[in-house]
Amino acid sequence: MRSRKIDTEDFFTRYFRYIGESEAPPIYHRWTALSIIGALLGRKVWLPFGTSEIYPNQYIMLMGSAGARKGTAINPGRKLLRLAGYDTFAADAVSKEMFLADMGRKNTELVDLDIETLVDDNPTETYVIAEEFNDFIGQGDLPFVTRLTKLWDNMDEYRHPKLHGKSVYIYKPTVNILSANTQQNFSMAIPPEAIGNGFCSRFLFIHSEPTGIQITFPAPPDLADRDWLVERLKRIKACCGGPMTIAQDARKTFDRIYKEFKPIDDHRFQHYSTRRFTHLLKLCIIIAAADTRRVITTADAINANTVLHYAERRMPKALGEFGKARNSSTAAAILDVLNRASEPKTVNEIWKFVSKDLNKYAELQDIIVGLTKAEKIQLVKIGRKQGYLPLHTERTEWDDALLNLDYLTEGEQE
């Protein structure tokens, strides 16, 4: 009886059981699990979409303060993927030029001194896992940001001229990214111009506050859970190849989701709406494949919409004040301080945290006024203490029929 239950169990339910009690937020674990399946699938499975195809590659960035345990969520997924035999990881430390050159060498043979040319029909896949995303992307490198933006689109080929004396040719580049960052470091790494080039519409920014959970001695995972997950990953790779289809009775649900989505009320995500449905379909491919299916159902559509919706609710907060003002990194630091505060913070108390980032006290006052007018923070009085705390506004929810809260863990709904 036990073995039959395991064979039919949902991958993500078992994944959370394997993780057990964790200091990392559940939403981080959810997206790590989604990411490793997407990387495992690569271009082996796709969804026909008009005259093109949709593949399950994703760019995911876990966002939160330095103590949010982002690496704690990433590491178990990476280990499981290695145990399942996946080995197409990008180098841990590599220059931006060599990242492209290394992709050009995958499944290629140097046939002359000028170009690296493909000799077989295998797509070029790479999985970037960067717990410190800035170490990978650098600081303010708009050309590299633009290249990554283009690579998300699963083009048939990518050519880059003259890197170290050679032109790089990449056949069917397929890039997955699972990364982590803080608001302050993100503001330093990504030029504000990236907002307009599609960067913020391709990355999924998964934000969470620290859980506050403290586990002095974490318990080791159950080896039976680990082995089950590894075997399931191997089955996914073996069974899920070729085109996926959408069940006929699911198309009405997809139509509703596509047409009823309300854009994120943040100008930095103005282009996200045009790719939101693509993100949804990528998730549906992954969720169906997790059950070793190649038919996407109504339940898959609703579950994917639920997971995506709860990530989208926090995306503006994930970016803090990036791209909004001259002192965006300082404003992001202030929001981080207030989000972790247990009582209102006065301007003088806030100054202690950001005084090294500003030239004078008046600049802090201007930032506070700007955050207040933008309805990010509010002046409150609790007891005898008056100061600032975050302002949380109500968000428009989906029709209940298009969400399945039972699919999420309790922590993901917060």
The tens digit of pLDDT for each residue in 318-351 reads 988 777 656 777 887 898 899 889 899 999 999 9
64-77 per-position pLDDT tens digit? 998 899 999 999 99
Confidence of residue 1 (pLDDT cuts 50, 70, 90): very low
Same domain flag for 83 and 143:
yes
pLDDT at 105: 62
The token pair that represents 65 in the structure block: 């303060």
Number of domains comprising the chain? 2
As a whole number of angstroms, the longest Cα–Cα distance in the chain is 76
Same domain flag for 233 and 348:
no
Residue 319 placed within a domain = no
Rounded to whole angstroms, the Cα distance separating 409 from 414 reads 10
Confidence of residue 187 (pLDDT cuts 50, 70, 90): confident
Residue 350: CATH number of its domain: 1.10.10.10
53-111 per-position pLDDT tens digit? 999 999 999 999 988 999 999 999 999 999 999 998 987 666 666 777 777 665 444 33
Q: 336 lies in which domain range?
A: 327-390
Same domain flag for 381 and 272:
no
Rounded to whole angstroms, the Cα distance separating 158 from 114 reads 16
Nearest to residue 299, comparing CAs of 254, 236, 242, 256?
A: 254
Q: Share the mean pLDDT of the chain.
A: 87
- 227 vs 157, residue with greater confidence: 227
First to last CA, the chain: 35
For residue 222, what is the DSSP state?
Answer: P
Same domain flag for 378 and 409:
no
Residue 384 placed within a domain = yes
pLDDT at 266: 82
Residue 295: CATH number of its domain: 3.40.50
Whole-model pTM: value is 0.81
Average pLDDT over residues 210-218: 93
Residue 148 placed within a domain = yes
Same domain flag for 138 and 114:
yes
Cβ contact 61:133 at 8 Å: yes
